[in-house]
Amino acid sequence: MRIATFNVNSITARLPRLLAWLESSGTDVLCIQETKCTAEQFPADALKELGYESAVNADGRWNGVAVVSRVGLDDVVKGLPGGPEYGGVQEPRALSATCGPVRVWSVYVPNGREVAHEHYAYKLLWLAALKAAVAEDAAGDRPFAVLGDYNIAPTDADVWDPSFFEGMTHVTEPERAALAGLRETGLADVVPRPLKYDHPFTYWDYRQLCFPKNRGMRIDLVYGNEPFAGAVKDSYVDREERKGKGASDHAPVVVDLDL
């Protein structure tokens, strides 16, 4: 089966390209982030016409995650159990579901904004809650993976210029320690191969020609347990989807599984 994760930066703005990509890529299960819509606005009907069921956790113009699947979609849990609030509310940043033989999460980890910002502390709390919430499934025998926009570059090799990011979020030691904490539960970073250049970046800022210059970051990650990682046949960043008009600022990460 083919499973992927994609921060679409508004599913409404991305819908024509998203539907075309689902068909051309032959993706069976897609974890989506930044739907930027209400649950009512989510295009479940258009996806149903392509044969995909949808599970959505979204509440408006910010955030929002979903899982769409054509191989089953069961036991949906919306939200992050035990997750922190921001601004007095639980933001829609997580959803888990069982799709055929695999249990998956679609996660949109808080950005953090700046290291001194309240949002950064929230980011670390959110990641601690994620670790606690996934630990049991991560240690289990069923193929399990947490896919999404982690808003963290795991190593300095995962940003186009480490000196550019000094003092900024996404590369700090506490954020990388939170990723290490997730790995302690039994999850492994399923690193995709790039289709061009040396680094499998998944995000390039819209500004200043970052994509043509390959000034990117690898922040969209697939963390899978041993039954999942052991079934991986191939994984790659579909940078073709970052090109042209109407592209997201992220590219899909695709994983092929022997399942």
**Best CA proximity match to 180, nearest among 102, 124, 246, 252:** 124
Give the residue, chosen from 5, 29, 36, 148, that forms a contact with DNA under the rule CB under 7 A.
36
Give the residue, chosen from 70, 131, 170, 242, that forms a contact with DNA under the rule CB under 7 A.
170
Q: Is 214 in the site for DNA (CB under 7 A)?
A: no
Residues facing 189 on adjacent strands: 223
Q: Is 48 in the site for DNA (CB under 7 A)?
A: no
How many other β-carbons are positioned within 10 Å of the β-carbon of residue 100?
17
The conformation of residue 159, written as its DSSP 8-state character, comes to: B
**So which residues are the catalytic ones?**
108, 149, 250
Minimum CB separation from DNA for residue 20, in Å? 15
Does 225 count as an annotated binding residue?
no
d(CA 110, CA 82): 15
With CB under 7 A as the rule, give the number of residues binding DNA: 32
Residues facing 30 on adjacent strands: 4, 68
Does 34 count as an annotated binding residue?
yes
* Close Cβ partners of 244 (under 8 Å, ≥ 6 residues apart): none
Q: Are strands 232-237 and 253-257 parallel, antiparallel or unpaired?
A: antiparallel
**Rg of the Cα trace of the chain?**
17
Interacting positions 10-29 with DNA (CB under 7 A) = 10, 12-13
> Which one of the spans 22-30, 108-116, 132-140, 184-192 is the region binding DNA (CB under 7 A)?
108-116
**Chain positions contacting DNA, by CB under 7 A:** 7, 9-10, 12-13, 34, 36-38, 60-62, 110-111, 113, 119, 149, 151, 169-170, 203, 205-209, 212, 217, 219, 246, 249-250
- Binding site listing for Mg(2+): 7, 34, 149, 151, 249-250
